[in-house]
Structure 1
Amino acid sequence: MGAADPSDIRNWQRRPDGITTSGKLEPGDPARLAAIGVQHVVNLALDEHPEALPGEAELLAAVGIGYTHIPVPFDAPTSEHVARLRDAIAAADGPIHVHCIMNYRVTAFMYLLDLEGGTPEPEARGRMTAVWNPPESDEPAARPWKRLILKS
């Protein structure tokens, strides 16, 4: 049997399509992702975030994992960011892991991609709200996410 999912990574999720998602990665996490077969990581967080993993691309490369960085400002997510994530997932060769800092960006974008792919809305929403529910949030930080989601 292979390694178990590193479910202690912040807001870890394994989706039905096999894609794994999470919040921030720690220095030892690239090796843990490699141990479960991840071959490509997409990071939606900004490099300058205080909880970003310094040298992430190099740490992933050292364990044979490819890397795509799509920096998404938390206060300004766009449908172009979603399209770039869609393209990165489509281009990935093998199992993929998508993360940000809290798994908020990721789950909101995956919700939109799920809808695009024909996932029933209640199922897609359930996956997102297991981590974060921007359409129902009154937090000011959720407003741009609510707008992005509700216009879909």
Structure 2
Amino acid sequence: METILNYIKINELISTSGQPKAEQFELIQDQGFEVVINLALYNASNAIENENKVVTDLGMSYFHIPVNFENPKLSDLKLFLNTLQALGGNKVWVHCAKNYRVSAFMYVYHKYILRTPFEQIDLSIFDIWSPSLPWQELMKVNLEDLYKV
């Protein structure tokens, strides 16, 4: 799994990464993942054409929540959080182009849903990515404000 771009294991049910190569989805499926969530735009520079088909042909479910990297929206975050919560006990792989969008969203998931103590959150991706102001604001969101959206 470590060969997949910017791979991070969140827990036994959730892992994240940048864009996997087409053949790496087979490895993901072999590790028992049942669902793939893609937060990248369909036209990202490293996007896989027909990713939904690649994933579903391997027997996994596929959700695409395209998040504009330059303009992330609270509604994107809310849809992501609701989707991840609805998947419950499924083993889920979440990716975007470089694991930047995902890491920002997962930070909020850790904070409000998993209630992970700050010092236990893997923040290593932020060693290579400094979130812009829109991403910083999104990561500071108050859960009550989020659910007003």
Could you say which TM-score interval applies, normalised by the shorter chain?
A: 0.7 to 0.9
- Give the alignment of 1:93-104 within 5 angstroms: 94-104=90-100
**How much has 1:88 moved relative to structure 2?**
1.5
Contact persistence 2:13–2:90 (CA under 8 A): no
Question: Between Structure 1 and Structure 2, how many residues are aligned?
Answer: 140
Q: Partner letter of residue 137 of structure 2?
A: R
Distance, in Å, in 2 between the alignment partners of 1:85 and 1:114 is: 13
**How much has 1:91 moved relative to structure 2?**
2.5
Partner of residue 117 from structure 2, selected from 117, 120, 129: 120
Structure 2 segments unaligned to the other structure (5+ residues): 143-149
The TM-score, its normalising length taken from structure 1, stands at: 0.84
**How much has 1:113 moved relative to structure 2?**
1.1
- Give the alignment of 1:1-152 within 5 angstroms: 6-92=1-87, 94-117=90-113, 118-124=115-121, 127=122, 129-132=123-126, 137=130, 142-152=132-142
Distance, in Å, in 2 between the alignment partners of 1:17 and 1:32 is: 16
**How much has 1:123 moved relative to structure 2?**
2.6
Distance, in Å, in 1 between the alignment partners of 2:127 and 2:134 is: 13
Query: Does 1 or 2 have the higher relative contact order (CA < 8 Å, sep 6+)?
Result: 2
The two structures, once aligned, show a CA RMSD in angstroms of 1.9
The TM-score, its normalising length taken from structure 2, stands at: 0.85
Percent identity reads 29
State the 4+ residue runs in structure 1 displaced beyond 3 angstroms: none
